[in-house]
C-alpha cells in the first residue's frame, strides 16, 4: 500500500490564555497563567474556587442568538477553533473537494452544561419547558456534526472520546484516515466545556483537583512540583488541519510540520490511576517513535501531559525515562497545563499546537510554578522561563482516566 505523508497546514484554538493561536502562544511562551477565580457561577457550595475559564468570548455577537441557543458552549468553542484553523490553512471547500475533507472533534463529556440545564428545567417546569434542541446539544458528536455542516465537510465525520487523551486520539485517527486514502484533508481536535458545579464537585471529591488554598489562583497548578496536589480544570477547544502532503504542496499550502508518529495503548489497570511502572505510557511513546522511524535522541522537545496530580506526573516522568533512556535527561519538557489548566478532551489538541509553535520558533515554553521540583520528577521541565533551543522534532503526550495512553510525534520538513 502506498504510504501517504500527513502534514499540518492549519491551527486554531480558544482557551484560558487566549482566543486564538497567536494570543494563546504568546501568553504560554511568556509564562502567563489563565487560571483565575471562577466567574461562571456561585462557588459558595464548592471547595474549589478557581479554574481556567475562556475569557471575553461572545458567541451571540459572533454567531447570532439563534445559533448560540441551538448548540452547547462546547460546540461554540469547537466552532471558533475550527474557523481559525480552516482560515489558517487557506483551504477552500467546494463541490469538487467536499467529499475529500472530513472532521473528527472529540470531547470527554459533550454538552454537559446543556444536560445540567435541561434536567434543572424539567425538574422545575416539567416536559413542556425542555428545549427540543436539548438532545442535539448534549450529544458527544454535536461539535463534529455542527462543524461538518457549517463548512460542508462531507468526508469522514465522527467524534472520539478517551477521557483526557481524546484530543490526541482525534488527531492520530484523522491522520490514519488520510494515510488510508479515505480523506485528503481532516479537521481534527477536541473541545470541552465542563466547568459546571456537579463535575467540579465530583473531581474534588475524588481528590483529583488541586488543593491549593492561597490567594493567587495562578499558582494553583504545579506540575512536577514537590507540593503539587492535583489538576486545575479548564475549558476551550483546539483544532488542527491535517492534510496529505502532496495535496498540500499542490495548492501551495503553508506546512507547519509533518505528523510522523502516533502511539496509543491501554493500561487495563484502574479507572483513574496510572500504572505505577508506567508500562502502558512507555509503550505508547515507543510506538510513536517506531512509527516515526526515529530514535529517542531525535526528540528535542516534549509537551508533557503534566496534570499536576501526584501519581500522573510521577508515572509520566518514569515513562519518558523508560522510552528515551539517557536522552530523557537531555530533552526539554514542559507542561502548558500549568498555565491553561486541564482542558480534558481538548487538552491533547491544544498541547499539540503548543509543541508545533515551540518547533516553529525554536523555543521551549516554560512550566510555571515549578518552585521545588519533586526529586522523583528529575527531568528538565523548563521551570519558570522559556528557553531558546534548536527544535526539529517534538512529542506531545496525553493520558486519560480509564488507562488511555497516547503520544504524537511531529517533525520539521525541509520546505516548511
Per residue in 320-368, pLDDT (tens digit) is 999 999 999 999 999 999 999 999 999 999 999 999 999 999 999 999 9
> According to the model, what pLDDT value does residue 3 have?
81
322 and 364 in a common domain: yes
Annotated catalytic residue, options 239, 342, 377, 404:
342
Q: Mean pLDDT over residues 1-10, rounded?
A: 88
Residues 6+ apart with CB under 8 A from 75: 111, 137, 142, 143, 146, 191
CATH number at residue 271: 3.40.47.10
pLDDT in tens, 382-393: 999 999 999 999
Considering only the C-alpha atoms of the chain, give the largest distance between any 2 of them, rounded to a whole number of Å: 64
pLDDT in tens, 137-181: 999 999 999 999 999 999 999 999 999 999 999 999 999 999 999
Residue 289 has pLDDT above 80, yes or no: yes
Domain boundary among 250, 279, 302: 250
Evaluate the CA torsion angle 82, 84, 90, 94 in order and state its sign: positive
Residues 6+ apart with CB under 8 A from 106: 159, 160, 161, 162, 166, 167, 169, 170, 189, 190, 191, 345
In a domain? residue 67: yes
277 and 243 in a common domain: no
140 and 101 in a common domain: yes
Contact 343, 236 (CB under 8 A): yes
Annotated catalytic residue, options 164, 221, 239, 377:
164
The whole-angstrom separation of Cα 258 and Cα 270 is 34
The whole-angstrom separation of Cα 176 and Cα 108 is 21
- Of 147, 70, 170, nearest to 111 (Cα)? 70
117 and 59 in a common domain: yes
Instruction: Give percent of the chain with pLDDT exceeding 90.
Output: 97
In a domain? residue 1: no
Residues 6+ apart with CB under 8 A from 123: none
155 and 62 in a common domain: yes
> According to the model, what pLDDT value does residue 290 have?
98
Annotated catalytic residue, options 264, 305, 377, 404:
305
> According to the model, what pLDDT value does residue 2 have?
67
Give the chain's length.
Answer: 416
In a domain? residue 282: yes
Active site residue 164: yes
Q: pLDDT band at residue 50, thresholds of 50, 70 and 90? A: very high
Neighbours of 46 (CB within 10 A): 15
Where are the strands (E) in 183-314, listed by range?
A: 185-192, 236-244, 257-266, 301-303
In a domain? residue 112: yes
In a domain? residue 256: no
Residue 384 CA, chain-centre distance (Å), reads: 22
38 and 180 in a common domain: yes
302 and 179 in a common domain: no
Domain boundary among 250, 283, 309: 250
Residue 36 has pLDDT above 50, yes or no: yes
| Grid cell 501526584 in the structure block, residue | 310
Q: Mean pLDDT over residues 227-236, rounded?
A: 97
300 and 179 in a common domain: no
pLDDT in tens, 245-278: 999 999 999 999 999 999 999 999 999 999 999 9
Domain boundary among 250, 273, 292: 250
In a domain? residue 255: no
Active site residue 342: yes
Angle between helix 73-89 and helix 112-125 axes, rounded to 10 deg: 150
Q: Mean pLDDT over residues 190-202, rounded?
A: 97
Cell numbers that stand for 133 in this block: 434542541
244 and 108 in a common domain: yes
In a domain? residue 200: yes
312 and 217 in a common domain: no
The whole-angstrom separation of Cα 71 and Cα 117 is 13
The CA angle 320-322-324, to the nearest 5 degrees, is 60
Active site residue 247: no
Residue 93 has pLDDT above 60, yes or no: yes
313 and 224 in a common domain: no
Q: pLDDT band at residue 5, thresholds of 50, 70 and 90? A: very high
The whole-angstrom separation of Cα 231 and Cα 70 is 31
Q: pLDDT band at residue 416, thresholds of 50, 70 and 90? A: very low
Average pLDDT along the chain? 97
Neighbours of 374 (CB within 10 A): 19
Instruction: Give percent of the chain with pLDDT exceeding 70.
Output: 99
Q: Which domain holds residue 31?
A: 6-250
Domain count, the chain: 2
In a domain? residue 382: yes
Q: What sections of 180-224 are H helices per DSSP?
A: 197-205
Instruction: Give the bridge partners for 240, in sequence order.
Output: 11, 188
The whole-angstrom separation of Cα 129 and Cα 114 is 14
| Grid cell 537531555 in the structure block, residue | 330
Evaluate the CA torsion angle 317, 173, 9, 163 in order and state its sign: negative
318 and 199 in a common domain: no
- Of 375, 281, 370, 382, nearest to 334 (Cα)? 382
Amino acid at each position: 500500500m502506498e504510504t501517504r505523508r500527513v502534514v499540518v497546514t492549519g491551527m486554531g484554538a480558544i482557551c484560558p490564555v487566549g482566543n486564538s493561536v497567536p494570543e494563546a502562544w504568546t501568553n504560554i511562551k511568556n509564562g502567563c497563567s489563565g487560571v483565575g477565580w471562577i466567574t461562571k457561577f456561585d462557588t459558595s457550595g464548592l471547595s474549589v474556587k478557581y479554574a481556567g475559564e475562556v475569557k471575553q468570548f461572545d458567541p451571540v455577537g459572533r454567531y447570532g442568538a439563534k445559533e448560540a441557543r441551538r448548540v452547547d458552549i462546547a460546540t461554540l468553542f469547537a466552532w471558533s477553533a475550527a474557523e481559525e484553523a480552516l482560515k489558517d490553512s487557506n483551504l477552500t471547500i467546494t463541490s469538487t473537494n467536499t467529499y475529500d475533507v472530513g472532521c473528527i472533534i472529540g470531547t470527554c463529556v459533550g454538552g454537559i452544561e446543556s444536560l445540567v440545564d435541561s434536567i434543572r428545567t424539567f425538574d422545575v417546569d416539567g416536559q413542556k419547558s425542555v428545549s427540543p434542541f436539548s438532545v442535539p446539544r448534549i450529544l458527544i458528536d454535536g461539535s463534529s456534526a455542527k462543524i461538518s455542516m457549517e463548512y460542508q465537510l462531507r468526508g469522514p465525520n465522527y467524534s472520539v472520546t478517551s477521557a483526557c487523551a481524546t484530543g490526541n486520539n482525534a488527531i492520530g485517527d484523522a491522520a490514519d484516515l488520510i494515510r488510508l486514502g479515505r480523506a485528503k484533508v481532516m479537521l481534527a481536535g477536541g473541545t470541552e466545556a465542563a466547568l459546571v458545579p456537579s463535575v467540579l464537585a465530583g473531581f474534588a471529591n475524588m481528590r483529583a483537583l488541586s488543593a491549593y488554598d492561597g490567594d493567587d489562583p495562578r499558582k494553583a497548578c504545579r506540575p512536577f512540583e514537590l507540593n503539587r496536589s492535583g489538576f486545575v480544570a479548564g475549558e476551550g477547544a483546539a483544532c488542527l488541519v491535517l492534510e496529505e502532503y502532496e495535496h498540500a504542496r499542490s495548492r501551495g499550502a503553508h506546512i507547519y510540520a509533518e505528523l510522523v508518529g502516533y502511539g496509543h495503548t491501554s493500561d487495563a489497570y484502574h479507572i483513574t490511576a496510572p500504572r505505577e511502572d508506567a508500562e502502558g505510557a512507555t509503550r505508547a511513546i515507543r510506538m510513536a517513535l517506531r512509527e516515526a522511524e526515529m530514535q529517542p535522541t531525535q526528540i528535542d522537545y516534549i509537551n508533557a501531559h503534566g496534570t499536576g496530580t501526584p501519581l500522573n506526573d510521577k508515572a509520566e516522568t518514569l515513562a519518558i525515562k523508560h522510552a528515551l533512556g539517557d536522552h530523557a535527561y537531555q530533552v526539554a519538557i514542559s507542561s502548558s497545563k500549568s498555565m491553561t489548566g486541564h482542558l480534558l478532551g481538548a487538552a491533547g489538541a491544544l498541547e499539540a499546537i503548543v509543541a508545533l509553535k515551540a518547533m516553529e520558533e525554536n523555543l521551549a515554553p516554560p512550566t510555571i510554578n515549578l518552585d521545588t521540583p519533586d526529586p522523583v520528577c528529575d527531568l528538565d521541565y523548563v521551570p519558570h522561563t522559556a528557553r531558546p533551543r534548536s527544535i526539529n522534532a517534538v512529542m506531545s503526550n496525553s493520558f486519560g482516566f480509564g488507562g488511555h495512553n497516547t503520544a504524537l510525534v511531529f517533525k520539521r520538513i525541509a520546505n516548511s
